[in-house]
């Protein structure tokens, strides 16, 4: 006899199986419930015939009245989605000598084979044109229920394994995303440090312009102070006021630069915080998976160094920016003082 048929080989017999490769009429008594003992057992020593493979068990039970059979066909199996399935199918049939025919009431299909007290061999046509023999051995409801318990345990184990596999898949996706994010955040931090240095350099350029404008104010102030009060001195005094206004405009630009600088500082700090959080999540996820992170990713020592460097850049650029702002205010005060001085000189 052939052994080791594919799981749920009884799908050829019953209309209940999700893995069936033939068309049947689905019986109404197929369920996902954890049904173990058939609906009408008298005791666990009821004689019948049993067929069992890894994740499926069939139990054939009938009465024989002058060669006429009447009984039930019970099946319990684990489907491709790791769900426990049951089907109880009423049957009729006939025995003549060592020949048996069984008809499933739900589908009306009849299967024939050989019969003896030791076994029943049913010939089952397959969709590929071949015929398989399913060998049923004598058994009891207790045998059937023991096999059902084994299948239920298999279902539970397979569901847990599938759940763990899905969790691992989710964690792997999360880990891949975090690895990409950490690398991007490292680049964002480097860019942010450069932005601060660029802001300071830009402000320094405005300071140079402001210094030149202040020098022009001082020169114009000297000219006015060397002139006697009169129309020419009054005209030159107006130029001093205009040049002082340029110094004030330079200071406005520096204030705008400082606002941009403060925004860039905040962005850099936010990027560093995100980097720290994602780095921690990345390591935690890798630990859950039992994986070692690639060498191109930062280590904890790198994280400390990055954080220290960011703080150093912020501190140094903030000090430079504060110095520029203070210097700009002094130049504005000096320019205004020159403008007031010449106005008094010309009598305004």
Q: pLDDT tens digit string along 199-213?
A: 999 999 999 999 999
Cβ contacts of residue 185 below 8 Å, gap of 6+? 271, 274, 275, 278
Rounded-to-integer distance, Cα 63 and Cα 193, Å: 88
176 & 287 share domain: yes
Residue range 213-252, pLDDT digits in tens: 999 999 988 998 888 888 888 888 888 899 999 999 999 9
Q: What percent of the chain shows pLDDT beyond 70?
A: 86
List the domain range (segments joined by +) for residue 223.
169-345
Tell me which of 323 and 29 has the higher pLDDT: 323
Mean pLDDT for the stretch of residues 97-104: 95
pLDDT at 18: 39
Token pair in block for residue 158: 């397979």
Tell me, yes or no, whether 156 lies in a domain: no
Token pair in block for residue 261: 């600088």
Distance from CA of residue 117 to its chain's centroid?
A: 58
Tell me, yes or no, whether 322 lies in a domain: yes
14-23, 171-180, 245-254, 309-318: least confidently modelled range? 14-23
Rounded-to-integer distance, Cα 280 and Cα 277, Å: 5
pLDDT at 197: 97
242 & 97 share domain: no
- H-type alpha helices, the chain: 141-225, 231-289, 300-345
Tell me which of 5 and 228 has the higher pLDDT: 228
Rounded-to-integer distance, Cα 217 and Cα 243, Å: 6
**Do 318 and 325 contact (CB within 8 A), yes or no?**
no
Tell me, yes or no, whether 232 lies in a domain: yes
pLDDT at 7: 36
125 & 223 share domain: no
Tell me, yes or no, whether 27 lies in a domain: yes
Quick one: which of 112, 165, 118, 110 has its CA closest to 139?
118
pLDDT at 127: 79
Token pair in block for residue 36: 């173990």
Tell me which of 239 and 192 has the higher pLDDT: 192
User: How many structural domains is the chain composed of?
Assistant: 2
47 & 111 share domain: yes
**Do 196 and 204 contact (CB within 8 A), yes or no?**
no
Mean pLDDT for the stretch of residues 110-114: 94
Evaluate if residue 21 carries a pLDDT over 90: no
Please calculate the CA angle 91-94-96 and round it to the nearest 5 degrees. Answer: 155
DSSP 227: S
Mean pLDDT for the stretch of residues 59-82: 95
Task: Put residue 8 in one of left, alpha, beta given phi > 0 → left and psi -120 to 50 → alpha.
Answer: left
pLDDT at 32: 56
**Do 38 and 141 contact (CB within 8 A), yes or no?**
yes
**Do 310 and 276 contact (CB within 8 A), yes or no?**
no
Which secondary structure element, helix H or strand E, spans residue 136, and what is its range? Answer: strand 131-140
Average pLDDT over the chain reads 87
Q: How confident is the model at residue 119 (pLDDT cuts 50, 70, 90)?
A: very high
Mean pLDDT for the stretch of residues 319-331: 97
Rounded-to-integer distance, Cα 123 and Cα 101, Å: 10
194 & 263 share domain: yes
Q: What is the pTM of this model?
A: 0.66
123 & 190 share domain: no
Evaluate if residue 179 carries a pLDDT over 90: yes
Q: What percent of the chain shows pLDDT beyond 90?
A: 72
Tell me, yes or no, whether 149 lies in a domain: no
Cβ contacts of residue 74 below 8 Å, gap of 6+? 38, 58, 59, 60, 61, 86, 87, 88, 89, 144
Tell me, yes or no, whether 98 lies in a domain: yes
192 & 293 share domain: yes
Rounded-to-integer distance, Cα 322 and Cα 311, Å: 16
Q: How confident is the model at residue 126 (pLDDT cuts 50, 70, 90)?
A: confident
222 & 301 share domain: yes
Which secondary structure element, helix H or strand E, spans residue 230, and what is its range? Answer: none
């Amino acid at each position: 006899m052939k052994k080791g048929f594919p799981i749920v080989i009884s799908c050829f017999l019953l209309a209940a199986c999700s893995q069936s490769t033939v068309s049947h009429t689905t019986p109404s008594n197929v369920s996902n419930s954890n049904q173990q003992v058939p609906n009408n057992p008298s005791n666990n020593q009821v004689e019948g015939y049993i067929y069992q493979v890894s994740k499926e068990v069939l139990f054939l039970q009938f009465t024989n009245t002058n060669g006429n059979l009447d009984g039930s066909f019970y099946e319990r199996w684990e489907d491709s989605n790791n769900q426990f399935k049951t089907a109880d199918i009423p049957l009729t049939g006939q025995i003549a000598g060592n020949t048996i025919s069984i008809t499933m009431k739900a589908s009306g299909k009849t299967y024939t084979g050989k019969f003896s007290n030791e076994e029943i061999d049913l010939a089952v046509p397959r969709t590929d044109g071949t015929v398989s023999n399913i060998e049923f051995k004598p058994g009891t409801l207790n045998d059937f229920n023991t096999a059902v318990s084994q299948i239920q345990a298999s279902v539970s184990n397979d569901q847990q394994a599938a759940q763990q596999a899905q969790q691992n898949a989710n964690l792997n996706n999360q880990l891949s995303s975090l690895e990409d994010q950490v690398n991007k955040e490292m680049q964002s931090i480097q860019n942010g440090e450069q932005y601060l240095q660029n802001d300071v350099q830009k402000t320094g350029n405005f300071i140079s312009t402001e210094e030149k404008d202040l020098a022009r104010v001082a020169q114009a102030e000297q000219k006015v102070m060397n002139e006697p009060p009169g129309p020419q001195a009054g005209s030159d005094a107006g130029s001093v006021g205009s040049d002082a206004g340029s110094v004030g405009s330079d200071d406005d630009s520096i204030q705008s630069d400082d606002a941009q600088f403060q925004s860039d500082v905040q962005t850099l700090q936010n990027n560093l915080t995100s980097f720290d959080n994602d780095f921690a999540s990345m390591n935690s996820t890798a630990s859950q998976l039992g994986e070692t992170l690639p060498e191109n990713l930062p280590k904890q020592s790198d994280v400390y160094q990055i954080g220290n460097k960011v703080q150093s850049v912020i501190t140094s650029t903030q000090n430079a920016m504060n110095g520029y702002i203070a210097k700009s205010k002094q130049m504005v005060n000096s320019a205004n003082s020159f403008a007031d001085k010449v106005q008094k000189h010309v009598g305004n």
